[in-house]
Chains A and B, each alone.
Chain A
Amino acid sequence: MKATKVLWPLSLVALLSLVALLGAQVPVLNPLFSVAIPYASAAVLVGGVVWRVTSWARSPVPFRIPTTCGQQRSLGWIRPARFDNPSTGAGAAVRVLLEVVAFRSLLRNTRAELKPGGRVVYAPDRLLWAGALAFHASLLVILLRHARLFFAPVPAFVEAIQSVDGFLRVGVPGLYASDVVLAVAAAYLLGRRLLDPRLRYLSLPADYLPLFLVLGIAGSGLLMRHVYRADLVSLKSFVLSFLAFRPRVPSAIPPLVALHVFLVSALAVTLPFAKLVHLAAPFLSPTRNLPNDSRARRHVNPWNPVIKAHAYAEWEDDFRDKLAEAGLPLEKESP
């Protein structure tokens, strides 16, 4: 089972790549690879995300359970931790924002080690934070850069991102920093899963699959830019027709383009159903998105059940003699 956890998703990505590379050679399949599969995967992505978010939004939040990571707001002279333990909705919004853009909780990460003699020592461990942030940020930049294929004329912000991203000025065409960062970060995230025995033990095929897909997508993208140049002009004209829902099926699909698009489609399809739904978590998690104000303002549980509790009168009846003997006050005097 252990090796298959890695081999299974790896072979799946290899198989998908092979299907795309070979499929692109068969002209009769062109409509399938250029139009049908991308449309279908986009539909699954949108439909899946809508279904998933609605299912979360529909489920109630019965209790206010923020994890408080700092001083509460109580007495005026004690300084509260406004964002790590927010007492207002605005504070909670900032907390969520910090979680989304800066991976606040991951920044706290430490590594605990048990030394001989039962001594536990802790060292800050920000590598995971840095790797995760680099991975997600470079993905975002790369996605935004791709917007140049989606709009004519190309929006100014896309040009700006592209020029900053190309600051390295290495090679022709220039190497993008985000591509390098993504490759390094993805390799790190994959490497730690494979090399750390603890992580290897707990990882599932579903943890490797998106990494292999991203590596395949990035690899084919880099090849298209730096080795086997894609014809961007005809590509863009196709993408624009695709986005306008009047797709002009190309007469031939370059194999790398087919591979790239096919793997992106595969990733899109898994997005709403696999671990990739995690992007919604920090926004919705009741331990992060609620202010810690449950003593100041009442939080209502929409399904608050009626529960019968032991009533005082019954309790007094039960202990009447003892209460009287001990001189404890009674509601109803003893007969």
Chain B
Amino acid sequence: MTAKGPEELSRVGYEPPPQDWLDPAVDFGARKGSWSYPGTVKSLTALGLPNPRAWSPSDADWKLPENWEEIVRDGFRERLSKYRSLKLFLETCVRCGACADKCHFYIGSGDPKNMPVLRAELLRSVYRWEFTGAGRLLGALAGARPLTPDVLKEWYYYFYQCTECRRCSVFCPHGIDTAEITMLARELLNLVGLNVNWVTEPAANCDRFGNHLGIPPHTFKENVEFLCDELHETTGVRVHPSFARKGAEFLFIVPSADYFAEPGIYTFMGYLLLFEQIGLDYTLSPFTSEGGNFGLFSSHDMIKRLNAKMYAEARRLGVRSLIGGECGHMWRVIHQYMDTMNGPADFLEVPVSPVTKTHFDHAASTKMIHICEFTADLLHHGRLRLDPSRNDRVRATFHDSCNPARAMGLLEEPRAVLRAACRNFFEMPENTIREQTFCCGSGAGLGNDENMEMRLRGGLPRASAVKFVRERHGVNTLACICAIDRAALTSLMEYWVPGVDVAGVHELLGNALVMDGEKPRTTDLRNRPLAPEGGGPDA
């Protein structure tokens, strides 16, 4: 973790620095802990990305290509003509400041350039200089400044200090979306080889192996089979997933962390139990062993490239439709980009629940539904038997993941599952949930160790809300529907709110789900006794 303790880290100064914000200087050496290591030669080469080289942000020379200025300017111009969003968001801000204290990184760091308005101004100032007459004529008076290597370095620092969570865009009276600004700024940075290895390496792995972690197909199968054995021990039930089976009704795609590490594996166990119990005709494929898409954190072209596998594999296997697991940014891609980029999915059919016969018409074109939508529908029709008392040691609250909340509106479905599976459920304060939810601070490719201090700072508003319900209601479990959350919130809780576990919604469902032929359950999916000594925190 970081050398600084919670006491020190939570003392934040909000007084702006003496120098004007147009001054781009960032001292990377002094700010260790708040930036990420750049993409390696290996990962850039594998993806065919420009300017692969060994370098570090703390170096004076970033080894930019000779004509870097021209590349960035042309790339900027091209994107202005391709995205109305960019043009509009650069031209219509009135700097009213409503967004300023909506950013978790600003609240946790006090750095004024983490105010969404100033983050965007970093790009706007160059836009004014390069593309407007007034900017060129009046310079700093018009808030314009030329593109220099220092500006590029500043962009690197601050656009890899935004998690594209879109909380600010909820509050902006003009609907300016900093995620869009950050995405396009990162595209410009990528043009000259300025990226983060925690994005490029997973993307390269995903392209080659089929998942971010670089798990080869046989290991994928072994991992899943291992989890099946574990489930057999815990529940006495043998589950039967299939692999790349042609003609299955559904192709099921999950984020790779779900079959790789704790606590994601317990969520995966929940999926397996659910599908076994209802006898779902589904298959998993090692070719699409990743739901996440780190293209979202580098470029639109990369989103399309990595996402293409989903429809390609669905077509090859001849499935009817798709179900996706619990993952945040994966669902932004599926919901807002997949059909546009890689559709039309006219070879698939509108998803229908084989159990309840519900037609999921809201996915009539994309043909992919979220597992929470699928499960909430089963529960609503009373088609699952649950024993929520098995979760009585759990006192849960729910963290809305940024993308399902603000790029989709998946708010009630996971709550319906959670309320059915768990008798002790408490909401965090309303300014910190649903569309106003706070980011874990580690999204958009920033969840690496070297960036830990900034992650913890960014996670402070979320942690503070969890602490509030922990003190008030004894909450000990933070439920969520995102793989990055499951990893990131675990570190975040350890640091800010010890004693709170992080669990996927389907893990809690798996605990409560009564399976045909199961043995009397004495432990939950984590092999913890169902009711700890004393009968749980309620007793």
Which A residues are closer than 8 A to B by beta carbons? Answer: 1-2, 4, 8, 55-56, 59-75, 77-78, 80-81, 84-85, 87, 99, 103, 105-106, 108-112, 114, 116-120, 122, 128, 132, 192, 196-207, 273-275, 277-278, 280-282, 284-289, 292-301, 303-305, 307-312, 315, 318-319, 322-323, 325-329, 331
Contact A294 B340 (CB under 8 A): yes
Contact B175 A281 (CB under 8 A): yes
**How far is A81 from B339 in the complex, measured between Cα atoms in Å?**
23
Please pick, from A206, A307, A312, the residue contacting B316 in the complex, using a CB distance under 8 A: A312
Residues on A with beta carbons closer than 8 Å to the beta carbon of B67: none
Which B residues are closer than 8 A to A by beta carbons? Answer: 6, 9-10, 12, 14-16, 20-22, 80-85, 87-89, 91-98, 100-102, 107, 112, 115, 117-118, 121, 132, 134, 140-143, 166, 169-177, 180, 207-208, 210, 216-218, 221-222, 243-246, 286-287, 300-301, 304-306, 308-309, 312-313, 316, 334-337, 339-341, 343-344, 358, 360-366, 368, 373, 376-377, 380, 405-413, 416, 429, 431-432, 434-436, 460-461, 463-465, 467-468, 496
Please pick, from A87, A118, A200, A328, the residue contacting B362 in the complex, using a CB distance under 8 A: A87
A71-B411, A72-B362, A319-B217 known; A285+B406 contact, CB < 8 A = no
Please pick, from B22, B362, B406, B463, the residue contacting A69 in the complex, using a CB distance under 8 A: B406
A67-B177, A112-B107, A273-B134 known; A74+B286 contact, CB < 8 A = no
Contact A108 B409 (CB under 8 A): no
Contact A307 B84 (CB under 8 A): no
By beta carbon, the residue of chain A nearest B242 is A329
Contact B141 A198 (CB under 8 A): no
Please pick, from A80, A287, A307, the residue contacting B301 in the complex, using a CB distance under 8 A: A307
Please pick, from B82, B89, B221, the residue contacting A303 in the complex, using a CB distance under 8 A: B82
Q: Which of A67, A282, A286 has the most CB of B within 10 A?
A: A67
A287 to chain B minimum Cβ distance, whole angstroms, is: 4
Contact B339 A298 (CB under 8 A): yes
Residues on A with beta carbons closer than 8 Å to the beta carbon of B14: 198
A114-B107, A206-B142 known; A67+B95 contact, CB < 8 A = no
Residues on B with beta carbons closer than 8 Å to the beta carbon of A61: 83-85
Contact B335 A294 (CB under 8 A): yes
Contact A105 B83 (CB under 8 A): no
A60-B82, A301-B341 known; A71+B412 contact, CB < 8 A = yes
B323 to chain A minimum Cβ distance, whole angstroms, is: 13
**How far is A70 from B98 in the complex, measured between Cα atoms in Å?**
20
A105-B170, A198-B100, A312-B313 known; A286+B410 contact, CB < 8 A = no
A69-B170, A128-B98, A298-B339 known; A326+B176 contact, CB < 8 A = no
By beta carbon, the residue of chain A nearest B246 is A329
Residues on A with beta carbons closer than 8 Å to the beta carbon of B364: 295-297
Please pick, from A110, A120, A197, the residue contacting B460 in the complex, using a CB distance under 8 A: A120
**How far is A289 from B287 in the complex, measured between Cα atoms in Å?**
37
Residues on B with beta carbons closer than 8 Å to the beta carbon of A326: 217-218, 221-222
Residues on B with beta carbons closer than 8 Å to the beta carbon of A122: 429, 431-432
Please pick, from B169, B286, B365, the residue contacting A297 in the complex, using a CB distance under 8 A: B365
A278 to chain B minimum Cβ distance, whole angstroms, is: 5
Contact B464 A278 (CB under 8 A): no
Residues on B with beta carbons closer than 8 Å to the beta carbon of A99: 173, 175
Residues on B with beta carbons closer than 8 Å to the beta carbon of A55: 87
**How far is A312 from B161 in the complex, measured between Cα atoms in Å?**
35
Contact A72 B217 (CB under 8 A): no
By beta carbon, the residue of chain A nearest B464 is A120
Q: Is the interface of B mostly helix, strand, loop or mixed?
A: helix
Residues on A with beta carbons closer than 8 Å to the beta carbon of B134: 273-274
A65-B407, A201-B21, A204-B142 known; A323+B336 contact, CB < 8 A = no
B383 to chain A minimum Cβ distance, whole angstroms, is: 14
B380 to chain A minimum Cβ distance, whole angstroms, is: 6
Residues on A with beta carbons closer than 8 Å to the beta carbon of B366: 294-295, 298
**How far is A80 from B373 in the complex, measured between Cα atoms in Å?**
14
A113 to chain B minimum Cβ distance, whole angstroms, is: 8
Residues on A with beta carbons closer than 8 Å to the beta carbon of B343: 298
**How far is A119 from B12 in the complex, measured between Cα atoms in Å?**
12
Please pick, from B80, B96, B413, the residue contacting A75 in the complex, using a CB distance under 8 A: B413
Contact B340 A118 (CB under 8 A): no
Residues on B with beta carbons closer than 8 Å to the beta carbon of A287: 85, 169, 175-177, 180
Please pick, from A108, A132, A308, A323, the residue contacting B170 in the complex, using a CB distance under 8 A: A108
B440 to chain A minimum Cβ distance, whole angstroms, is: 15
Nearest 7 interchain pairs by C-beta: A72-B409, A118-B10, A285-B175, A326-B218, A309-B308, A281-B174, A281-B92
23 examples of A-B residue contacts, CB within 8 angstroms: A62-B82, A64-B336, A68-B405, A68-B406, A74-B362, A75-B373, A119-B464, A120-B107, A202-B97, A204-B142, A207-B95, A275-B95, A277-B92, A292-B409, A294-B339, A295-B334, A295-B368, A310-B309, A322-B218, A323-B218, A327-B221, A328-B217, A331-B316
Contact B339 A299 (CB under 8 A): yes
By beta carbon, the residue of chain A nearest B334 is A295
By beta carbon, the residue of chain A nearest B110 is A114
Residues on B with beta carbons closer than 8 Å to the beta carbon of A312: 287, 309, 312-313, 316
**How far is A284 from B511 in the complex, measured between Cα atoms in Å?**
47
A182 to chain B minimum Cβ distance, whole angstroms, is: 17
Contact A285 B340 (CB under 8 A): no
By beta carbon, the residue of chain A nearest B124 is A204
**How far is A106 from B81 in the complex, measured between Cα atoms in Å?**
29
Given contact pairs A68-B409, A122-B432, A294-B340, a sample of 19 additional A-B residue pairs in the complex whose CB atoms are under 8 Å apart = A4-B141, A64-B340, A69-B406, A70-B435, A72-B410, A105-B175, A110-B102, A118-B496, A128-B96, A275-B93, A278-B94, A286-B84, A288-B175, A297-B364, A307-B308, A312-B316, A319-B286, A322-B216, A323-B218
Contact A298 B94 (CB under 8 A): no
**How far is A62 from B299 in the complex, measured between Cα atoms in Å?**
14
Contact A67 B166 (CB under 8 A): yes
**How far is A60 from B86 in the complex, measured between Cα atoms in Å?**
11
**How far is A312 from B286 in the complex, measured between Cα atoms in Å?**
11
Contact B101 A112 (CB under 8 A): yes
Contact B16 A198 (CB under 8 A): yes
A75-B376, A292-B409, A298-B340 known; A318+B208 contact, CB < 8 A = yes
Residues on B with beta carbons closer than 8 Å to the beta carbon of A85: 409
